[in-house]
Amino acid sequence: MNEQPVVQLRGVTKKIGTRTIVDDLSFDVMPGEIFGFLGPNGAGKTTTIRMMVGLISMTSGEVTIEGLSVVKEFERAMVRVGAIVENPELYKFMTGYQNLEHYARMVPGGVDKARIDEVIALVKLEQRIQDKVKTYSLGMRQRLGVAQAILHKPSVLILDEPTNGLDPEGIRELRDYLRHLSRTEGIAVIVSSHLLSEMELMCDRVAIIQNGKLLDVRTFKETQEGEEGLTIRFELDPIERARTIAAGMVRDAEISADEHSVTLRLTREMTAKLNAEFVAAGIQVYGIGQVTKSLEDQFLEVTRGNRIV
């Protein structure tokens, strides 16, 4: 895969007086991915985003957008960025369409009607685009804000806590739309949030930040079987007989068992073979499932021991 990162952070740091708000952050964001920026309130997420879009200065480090320095080539870099920091700025007394027309006039080189219609369809606002924004729900305003942010076909869309204030239906609509956008437009989407469940459903990768430090970057695409196989849990009875069979078939495997199940690492092929052995031995197999850690489990695993008391 020879794709180059759309966004690169290298050693990004922000200090205010003696306090370090953001501490030496480095990560890449690739084209077409939804990249989550996860951490508790006060972790430094919004400060980092503000530095990425040039709203505040960095103490040290560098941010590049498609290889262009946000500090040295600000205007050229920002042409490639669409962003909503906090709430989208909209004129409530104007229609959704008039808002987009107004913003299109401010884009260098302009935006034609075909592109305006295209983004309206992308955010699925065709039925309400001629209504005044003051009649829109919060979720519709958020989608109109996204439409405004991508009018000029940016390479990256940056959203700071975009689900704040949305009801469950609005959150789901925004999540589905961002996935559609990243796939159809190839835009890299950076989303900051403190909501673990939403990040797990929305993102391809998640950067975990705490106290201004990057603790880890985790991938949450569909689980791929690695060299060690998958963690498989068999629900069966009797347990002791099943454990003996598993130990005989899978040498040097770490096997855990409770009164209802046996769990171990297996390839897909070995899962089928072991199940056949259980059945042949007269063991009742009630269920077979893959065991995965939730984002919440992984977040707590990474942040434990990094808290400031």
In a domain, residue 2? The reply is no
In a domain, residue 308? The reply is no
| Structure tokens given for 174 | 């925004």
In the chain, DSSP assigns E strands to 7-16, 19-29, 34-38, 60-65, 68-69, 81-84, 156-160, 188-193, 205-210, 213-219, 230-237, 256-257, 261-266, 284-290
Phi, psi of 38 (to 5 degrees): -110, 135
Q: Are the C-beta atoms of 288 and 233 separated by less than 8 Å?
A: yes
Q: Are the C-beta atoms of 13 and 61 separated by less than 8 Å?
A: yes
List, for residues 283-300, the tens digit of each pLDDT value.
888 888 776 655 555 555
Indicate whether 87 and 109 sit together in one domain.
yes
Position 190 pLDDT exceeds 90:
yes
Q: Please compute the mean of the pLDDT values over residues 181-198 and round it to a whole number.
A: 83
Highest mean pLDDT among 108-112, 194-198, 229-233: 108-112
CB atoms within 10 A of CB 257: 16
Cis link prior to 238 (omega < 30° from 0)? yes
List, for residues 214-273, the tens digit of each pLDDT value.
888 877 654 344 445 677 888 888 888 888 888 887 765 566 667 778 887 777 788 888
Return the CATH number at 255: 3.30.70
Indicate whether 101 and 192 sit together in one domain.
yes
Coil, strand, or helix at residue 248? Answer: helix
Q: What is the pLDDT of residue 256?
A: 64
Residue 127 amino acid letter: Q
In a domain, residue 296? The reply is no
| Structure tokens given for 188 | 């890299």
Give the range among 68-77, 99-108, 298-307 with minimum mean pLDDT. 298-307
Of residues 200 and 77, the one with the higher pLDDT is 77
Q: What is the pLDDT of residue 227?
A: 43
302 falls in which pLDDT band (50, 70, 90)? low
List, for residues 79-96, the tens digit of each pLDDT value.
899 888 777 778 999 999
pTM passes above 0.75: no
In a domain, residue 303? The reply is no
* CA distance to 103, 184, 257, 259, per residue, from 241 (Å): 70, 52, 11, 12
Paired residues of 156 in beta bridges: 81, 188
Supply the range of the domain harboring residue 97. Answer: 7-219
Return the CATH number at 16: 3.40.50.300
Indicate whether 150 and 270 sit together in one domain.
no
Indicate whether 64 and 199 sit together in one domain.
yes
| Helices 268-280 and 239-249, packing angle to 10 deg | 130
Q: Are the C-beta atoms of 28 and 8 separated by less than 8 Å?
A: yes
Q: Structurally, how many domains does the chain consist of? A: 2
List, for residues 126-169, the tens digit of each pLDDT value.
999 999 999 998 888 888 988 898 888 899 999 888 877 777 88
Paired residues of 218 in beta bridges: 206
Residue 291 amino acid letter: V
* CA distance to 104, 164, 189, 232, per residue, from 218 (Å): 37, 23, 16, 21
- Strands 213-219 and 19-29 come out as unpaired
| Helices 138-149 and 168-184, packing angle to 10 deg | 20
In a domain, residue 307? The reply is no
Of residues 19 and 307, the one with the higher pLDDT is 19
Indicate whether 284 and 215 sit together in one domain.
no
